């Protein structure tokens, strides 16, 4: 190819995860110093669990499993989420001066490189396409994930290609953020990704053919001339030094850890389609009005990666009220680039953390976040999470429901969960009624919320329904997600599985991601309340029979803990209008497993409530657009109308 930029091609074979990352950094350093040419590298991994540059290790990797199985744990020099890599995947990387291809920004570089890699896969008969932000997919399933950054004038960009893939190995090594059953995790993983073996079957080519196809794609798509070359002694020596002194050390891998929440700490999470962010900020001063230190973590991509460390340093000593402006000023003066997420998202999560509120309810300090503004024009929404959940585990569902309805919202951590005050022994076996009759009323008064719509999941749904019966004039409506009022055989079996996972698996560690040192007490209270001998209805049913506000009840058809008997009992007891919806292919957590259906149903319910209040006509969800929900079952069961 006449006039095309020449790229050396090397294959560093199979290496351990940390050694491969050290070689990445060696390539960047050597190219920046002009000691090596523009380079394409192919690489493979011994079994490794690798987290992104900005992720908290204990939140992402099942460390005990990795130690038992000899899986090395490492931290990448790029952003993004956790990866499990072994001989069933290959890596490809480009390290070059940005002037070689005239690339000025990371978005353009990502698109061009991913399109070129997809072109190479098409030469193998694989109909791959680039999907923003940084994936290569086949019919909506990811076959290659990518990421990179600029280091001065040097661009480092890497991708992994699934040759063969066992989702069970990935799930065993990495922590899926949401507590689900392994069966559902495996099914979800298989639906999201696809390997060349699955696509090509017996026609799967050897590695040499795959490498040639990718090189042809890079040559055509980027207008370069790849030529096989040799690994230099300079690279190997520099990689060995970096591995020994930094990247291969436990200190580098373990450098980020989540702090425990105390009176000086505020925290928030933000979920977007492009990634997730978390800010933990420690305050100081008599009025907690100044930032002592900040930690910003997540699975985002930013170039250069150390920009976040520099931002954290710039926030030290900053007045709380000026923090948003400080973030803006930092990025205005820094030469940074993001994929999908950006400076506005960083500012949003910092300001959300600083705006975290504390309320005393039933003598306990609870932490909460507000979404939007509460006004007379729209009813406030209050979200109540499940027994082992917290505000973070709602993810972006509260924001999306608030956006869809124009309502302000309050999302809070119940006593013993998330950032709120820890539980105390002995645990109350009637904690659901305690919260409904004492804690929730206090919280609403302290937050200044009048006649809200309560949106609760599982235990949170039970609390919301009991509150609605106890204080019928204090609530406009209830969205009850996976509600329950009594224990079933399926419940006992599900709890038994959780106990085994907590004691012998890694459920304890996965819950600690959200609850920290409060995890043990939170889980033990659940076990005691749900496994105590005798009838377990917790005194809820008399209150369900006194509900006067409309209720929307939703349950997954594959709920692991409860059957449709819960919705039947609720409909039989509740004298108010109630709409019961069964969601197909959904388990106990519709806000994770069927969020679109849940959000659409909640928005219709809230619209119908507001229409009834405005018109004075009886509540009727059936009159709203989009009724009945597509694919759902059990709709139209209206009681009390």
DSSP secondary structure of 526-568: HHHHHH-SS---TT-HHHHTT--S-EEEEEETT-SS--THHHH
Per-residue model confidence (pLDDT) at position 601: 96
pLDDT of 553-596, one tens digit each? 999 999 999 999 999 999 999 999 999 999 999 999 999 999 99
Whole-Å CA distances, 429 to 418, 527, 539: 21, 10, 10
Residue 322 has pLDDT above 80, yes or no: yes
Write down the residue that tokens 């076959």 correspond to: 143
| Residues linked to residue 41 through DSSP beta bridges, in sequence order | 10, 93
Per-residue model confidence (pLDDT) at position 203: 94
Cβ within 8 Å of residue 191, ≥6 positions away = 141
Are the beta carbons of 446 and 359 closer than 8 angstroms?
Answer: yes
| Residues linked to residue 42 through DSSP beta bridges, in sequence order | 11, 92
Count CA atoms within 13 Å of residue 354 on its CB side.
26
Are the beta carbons of 55 and 31 closer than 8 angstroms?
Answer: no
**Pairing mode, strands 409-412 and 381-384:** parallel
CA dihedral 314, 315, 317, 322 (to 10 degrees): 120
Query: What is the b/e burial string over 628-637, where b = at least 16 CB atoms within 10 angstroms of the residue's CB?
Result: bbeebebbee
Give the whole-angstrom CA distance, residue 123 versus residue 214. Answer: 8
Residue 534 has pLDDT above 80, yes or no: no
Find the range with the poorest average confidence among 196-210, 309-323, 336-350, 523-537: 523-537
Closest CA to 312 of 328, 296, 332: 296
Give the whole-angstrom CA distance, residue 481 versus residue 194. Answer: 32
Both tokens assigned to 21? 């990352």
Residue 617 has pLDDT above 50, yes or no: yes
Q: Rounded mean pLDDT of 537-547?
A: 91
Per-residue model confidence (pLDDT) at position 201: 94
Q: Can you give the three-state secondary structure of 268-289, one letter per residue?
A: EEEEECCEEEEEEEEEECCCCC
Backbone phi and psi for residue 344, each to the nearest 5 degrees, phi listed first: -65, -35
Give the whole-angstrom CA distance, residue 139 versus residue 372. Answer: 37
- CATH code at 265-353: 3.30.390.50
**CA gyration radius for the chain?**
27
Q: Rounded mean pLDDT of 320-341?
A: 92
pLDDT of 98-111, one tens digit each? 999 998 888 899 99
Are the beta carbons of 424 and 524 closer than 8 angstroms?
Answer: no
Cα 357–chain centre separation: 22
Residue 345, H or E segment: helix 343-354
Are the beta carbons of 96 and 38 closer than 8 angstroms?
Answer: yes
Tally of CB atoms within 10 A around 189: 16
Are the beta carbons of 112 and 221 closer than 8 angstroms?
Answer: yes
pLDDT of 50-85, one tens digit each? 999 999 998 889 888 899 999 999 999 988 889 999
Residue 79, SS3 per DSSP:
coil
Residue 636 has pLDDT above 60, yes or no: no
Closest CA to 374 of 403, 347, 408: 408
Both tokens assigned to 450? 């009048």
Residue 6, H or E segment: strand 5-15
pLDDT of 477-501, one tens digit each? 999 999 999 988 898 899 999 999 8
What CATH number does domain 5-253 carry, 3.30.930.10, 2.60.15.10, 3.60.15.10, 3.30.465.10? 3.30.930.10
List, edge to edge, every strand of the sheet that includes 224-228. Answer: 129-131, 135-138, 141-151, 154-162, 89-97, 39-45, 5-15, 224-228
Are the beta carbons of 198 and 141 closer than 8 angstroms?
Answer: no
Give the whole-angstrom CA distance, residue 342 versus residue 350. Answer: 13
Give the whole-angstrom CA distance, residue 76 versus residue 87. Answer: 18
Per-residue model confidence (pLDDT) at position 129: 96
Residue 21 exposed, middle or buried by CB count within 10 Å (0-12, 13-18, 19+)? buried
| Residues linked to residue 410 through DSSP beta bridges, in sequence order | 370, 382
pLDDT of 394-439, one tens digit each? 999 999 999 999 999 999 999 999 999 999 999 888 899 999 999 9
Cβ within 8 Å of residue 278, ≥6 positions away = 56, 258, 267, 268, 269, 270, 296, 297, 298, 349
Residue 176 exposed, middle or buried by CB count within 10 Å (0-12, 13-18, 19+)? middle
In the chain, residues under CATH classification 3.30.930.10 are 5-253
Give the whole-angstrom CA distance, residue 547 versus residue 74. Answer: 54
Whole-Å CA distances, 64 to 58, 201, 403, 508: 11, 34, 41, 12
pLDDT of 625-635, one tens digit each? 556 555 555 54
Are the beta carbons of 294 and 316 closer than 8 angstroms?
Answer: yes
Please give the mean pLDDT across all residues of the chain: 91
Residue 150 has pLDDT above 70, yes or no: yes
Residue 180 has pLDDT above 60, yes or no: no
Give the whole-angstrom CA distance, residue 456 versus residue 491. Answer: 18
Write the DSSP string, 208-268: HHHHHHHHHHHHHHHTEEEEE----HHHHHHHHHHIIIIITSHHHHT---PPPP-TTEEEE
Query: What is the b/e burial string over 529-554, where b = at least 16 CB atoms within 10 angstroms of the residue's CB?
Result: bbeeeeebebebbebbebbebbbbbb
Both tokens assigned to 501? 């996972």
Write the DSSP string, 487-529: --HHHHHHHHHHHHHHHHSSHHHHHHHHHGGGHHHHHHHHHHH
Give the whole-angstrom CA distance, residue 187 versus residue 183. Answer: 6
Per-residue model confidence (pLDDT) at position 179: 36
In the chain, residues under CATH classification 3.40.50.1820 are 356-623
Residue 369, H or E segment: strand 364-371
Backbone phi and psi for residue 500, each to the nearest 5 degrees, phi listed first: -60, -40
Per-residue model confidence (pLDDT) at position 332: 95
Per-residue model confidence (pLDDT) at position 170: 82
- The CATH architecture one would assign to domain 356-623 is 3-Layer(aba) Sandwich (3.40)
Whole-Å CA distances, 80 to 91, 159, 170, 273, 274: 15, 12, 16, 13, 10
Q: Positive or negative, the Cα torsion across 546, 552, 558, 561?
A: negative
In the chain, residues under CATH classification 3.30.390.50 are 265-353
Q: Rounded mean pLDDT of 291-309?
A: 92
Q: Rounded mean pLDDT of 121-144?
A: 93
Per-residue model confidence (pLDDT) at position 628: 58
Give the predicted TM-score (pTM) of the model: 0.84
């Amino acid at each position: 190819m006449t006039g095309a930029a020449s790229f050396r091609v090397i294959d560093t074979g199979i290496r351990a995860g940390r050694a491969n990352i050290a070689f990445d950094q060696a390539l960047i350093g050597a190219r920046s110093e002009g000691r090596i040419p523009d380079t394409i590298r192919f690489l493979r991994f011994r079994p490794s669990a690798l987290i992104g540059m900005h992720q908290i290790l204990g939140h992402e990797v099942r460390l005990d499993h990795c130690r038992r199985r000899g899986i090395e744990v490492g931290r990448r020099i790029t952003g993004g989420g956790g990866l499990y890599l072994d001989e069933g995947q290959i890596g490809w990387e480009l390290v070059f001066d940005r002037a070689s291809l005239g690339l000025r920004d990371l978005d353009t570089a990502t698109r061009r490189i991913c399109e070129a890699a997809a072109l190479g896969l098409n030469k193998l008969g694989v109909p791959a396409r680039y999907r923003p932000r940084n994936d290569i997919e086949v019919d909506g399933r990811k076959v290659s994930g990518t990421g990179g950054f600029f280091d001065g004038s040097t661009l480092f960009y890497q991708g992994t290609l699934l040759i063969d893939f066992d989702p069970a190995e990935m799930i065993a090594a990495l922590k899926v953020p949401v507590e689900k059953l392994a069966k559902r995790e495996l099914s979800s993983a298989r639906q999201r990704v696809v390997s060349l073996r699955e696509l090509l079957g017996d026609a799967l080519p050897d590695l040499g053919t795959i490498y040639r196809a990718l090189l042809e794609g890079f040559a055509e798509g980027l207008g370069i001339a790849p030529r096989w070359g040799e690994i230099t002694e300079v690279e190997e020596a520099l990689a060995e030094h970096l591995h020994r002194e930094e990247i291969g050390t436990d200190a580098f891998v373990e450098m980020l850890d989540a702090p425990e929440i105390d009176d000086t700490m505020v925290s928030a999470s933000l979920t977007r389609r492009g990634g997730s962010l978390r800010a933990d900020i420690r305050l100081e001063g008599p009025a907690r009005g100044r930032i002592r230190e900040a930690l910003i973590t997540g699975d985002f991509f930013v170039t250069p990666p150390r920009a976040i460390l520099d931002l954290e340093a710039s926030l030290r000593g900053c007045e709380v009220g000026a923090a948003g402006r400080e973030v803006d000023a930092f990025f205005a003066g820094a030469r940074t680039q993001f994929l999908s997420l950006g400076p506005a998202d960083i500012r949003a999560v910092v300001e959300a953390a600083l705006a975290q509120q504390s309320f005393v309810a039933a003598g306990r300090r609870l932490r909460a976040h507000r979404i939007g503004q509460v006004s007379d024009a729209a009813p406030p929404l209050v979200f109540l999470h499940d027994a082992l959940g917290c505000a973070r585990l709602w993810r972006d569902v509260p924001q999306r429901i608030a956006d869809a309805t124009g309502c302000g919202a309050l999302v809070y951590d119940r006593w013993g969960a998330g950032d709120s005050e820890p539980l105390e022994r002995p645990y109350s076996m009637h904690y659901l009624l305690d919260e409904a009759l004492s804690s929730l009323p206090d919280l609403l008064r302290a937050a200044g919320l009048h006649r809200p719509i309560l949106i609760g999941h599982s235990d949170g749904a039970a609390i919301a329904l009991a509150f609605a019966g106890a204080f019928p004039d204090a609530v406009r409506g209830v969205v009850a997600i996976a509600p329950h009022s009594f224990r079933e055989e399926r419940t006992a079996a599900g709890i038994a599985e959780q106990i085994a996972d907590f004691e012998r698996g890694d459920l304890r560690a996965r819950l600690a991601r959200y609850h920290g040192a409060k995890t043990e007490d939170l889980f033990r209270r659940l076990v005691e309340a749900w496994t105590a001998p005798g009838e377990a209805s917790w005194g809820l049913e008399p209150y369900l029979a006194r509900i006067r506000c409309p209720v929307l009840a939703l349950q997954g058809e594959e709920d692991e803990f409860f059957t449709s008997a819960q919705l039947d009992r609720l409909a039989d007891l509740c004298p108010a209008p109630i709409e019961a919806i069964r969601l197909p292919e959904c388990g106990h957590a519709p806000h994770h497993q069927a969020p679109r259906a849940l959000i659409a149903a909640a928005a219709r319910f809230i619209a119908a409530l507001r229409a009834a209040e405005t018109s004075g006509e009886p509540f009727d969800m059936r009159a709203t657009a989009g009724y009945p929900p597509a694919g759902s079952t059990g709709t139209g069961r209206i009681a009390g109308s």
